[in-house]
Structure 1
């Protein structure tokens, strides 16, 4: 699509419109084909836009939404109590065909609940999954779920694997390698949900399922798609971001400890800056909600301007690849897996049953 239209929940996130509006306008200036719809308290948004010079108003629209969903607010309150919230109205822009995608840095639980209510899930999908790309020693790896679903039965993990594979194919991966994140690579390792999900994936002949993978294998680039529940995925994502920042900070500190270290540091500083740029979490910010009948991208609530711009670019990329339609066309083929639990004694030992 030559001119993607992205609806922005301008009131969400830790920093709100004072960060989101300048970031959005900067992204608008950098992308000549991009159109944005800023959704929020219109008087405030108009003031913030007026503070920026050179704004192309022909590609910018402001839609009023007087209510704000707080970062700690319960999803039920967002669903029932705030019909004119910026998050809901931004999603409705997508539902009504006025925008191709929605980006929000707001409350994740509320965004998930509202997105399911406003946009609905694709046929065969129980719940959407959040996916993002992580840097590895090879090509970036798609990780899902990142926190939208903290408890996942095996059938949902199977659905996540299918959606992740289709998303990887949309990025040009041929026969993407799919793996389940686990505490070991042996078949006897893991909890019941992971073992049962593995049985389902083994029966899916058209998926390039590789088996279990551990966290270190993910970063070695041993899979293109890594699947886990949202509890594990969110911890892995946040830990990865913290580790990357710590490593760069420690290396920089080492080069400041002595005169000799500073001399060496001056030589390797360009490489260090390259490493910092490669590992910068901001450039990977933006998790797509796979499985909806529309495109929704969740930005970190704490993302700064660069991070939020990355989330907008992620949404534009999903629009370009028409990701929901690609998923729709492929899901019916995959999402009727056999249920071989009864044939595997070690999986059902101890009374464990498939989750519903």
Structure 2
């Protein structure tokens, strides 16, 4: 049976290098996901110049010229003012809104993308604040962490909603029927943490949602251990945790590089352990897990790291492919509807 074609709207001007990075990334993704097709938004002359060396991508792409590119340092309000008419980012999002594409992928300015996505696609009914969810490597495999930067400071209901959103994503990405979900806290004891976190814990435990298993509180070091499938927090602490993990990975890699070259014995040891180091490098490669998902919108939006390369952007494109194929929006809508129903029943009681 032929796989259903999936069409992605691509902000070709996003990221530090624009089409020079984005379009080769599509070539890498296309090899692994041949059912992909693309709507490319950006400067047509630049795109055509890069596509001249990428005939496979050109064959499955439609080009749409845009006159505006959102700067990586633009403030969200500024981006909305300058980019709502004819920017590559806005047009890519609007292609999803009108039903011409299944998802948007952009390596552009995160704040601008969040602001435009909320304005263009709107939040799902029942979701007050969309969340940015990242896939995190762990000792046991992978987990999902959200929010990692979409909203700073949230209330109890936002945390409960994030748990529902993260659980739906885990089922779609990991194929787990009842993912284990926990709240990030400063300790595992029920009396610790902010009042909003403790109240969210009480709701999650009392409601006993059938779509997930609530596991209580976890601490920061539990994320890398893979204790649970979904870790729920708010954007400030989530973003700090994400950036700290990325920095620690780079620090360890630099330590290894310095140690290996220090003595002849170390270099000989490296040669003997080279396969093990290769596996470690592959496991810690941030390009393999590049791509965060804006959850809670009426459309799929994937954010790629702006400084990644073609291989990293391909990972974000493949994540979009998987989200569409596994019907993430349908799963989230069903779970949010169930959440609203439990709230209404609780209020009636």
TM-score in terms of structure 1 length: 0.91
Is contact 1:200-1:337 (8 Å) kept? no
* Cα deviation digits, residues 60-89 of structure 1 (max 9, x gap): 111111111111212222223321111000
Is contact 2:24-2:54 (8 Å) kept? no
> How many angstroms apart in 1 are the aligned matches of 2:135 and 2:94?
27
**Structure 1 residue aligned with 2:7:** 5
How big is the alpha-carbon RMSD for the aligned residues of Structure 1 and Structure 2?
A: 1.7
1:240 to 236, 245, 260: 245
**Structure 1 residue aligned with 2:130:** 128
Is contact 2:10-2:105 (8 Å) kept? yes
Aligned length: 338
Unaligned 5+ runs, structure 2: 345-349
Pair 1:201 & 2:204 matched = yes
- Secondary structure of 1:12 counterpart: coil
* Cα deviation digits, residues 219-259 of structure 1 (max 9, x gap): 11111100011111111111111111221221232222211
Structure 1 residue 53 displacement after superposition: 4.4
> How many angstroms apart in 1 are the aligned matches of 2:185 and 2:24?
41
* Cα deviation digits, residues 289-347 of structure 1 (max 9, x gap): 111111100011111221111100000010101111111122111235559xxxxxxxx
1:269 to 274, 277, 291: 274
> How many angstroms apart in 1 are the aligned matches of 2:57 and 2:161?
41
> How many angstroms apart in 2 are the aligned matches of 1:14 and 1:200?
43
> How many angstroms apart in 1 are the aligned matches of 2:231 and 2:48?
42
**Structure 2 residue aligned with 1:78:** 79
- Secondary structure of 1:188 counterpart: coil
> How many angstroms apart in 1 are the aligned matches of 2:55 and 2:15?
26
Structure 1 residue 56 displacement after superposition: 4.7
Structure 1 residue 185 displacement after superposition: 0.9
Deviates more, 1:251-260 or 1:106-115: 251-260
**Structure 1 residue aligned with 2:188:** 185
**Structure 2 residue aligned with 1:322:** 327
- Secondary structure of 1:198 counterpart: helix
- Secondary structure of 2:138 counterpart: coil
Deviates more, 1:313-322 or 1:329-338: 329-338
2:115 to 113, 116, 140: 113
TM-score in terms of structure 2 length: 0.92
Structure 1 residue 30 displacement after superposition: 4.2
**Structure 2 residue aligned with 1:295:** 300
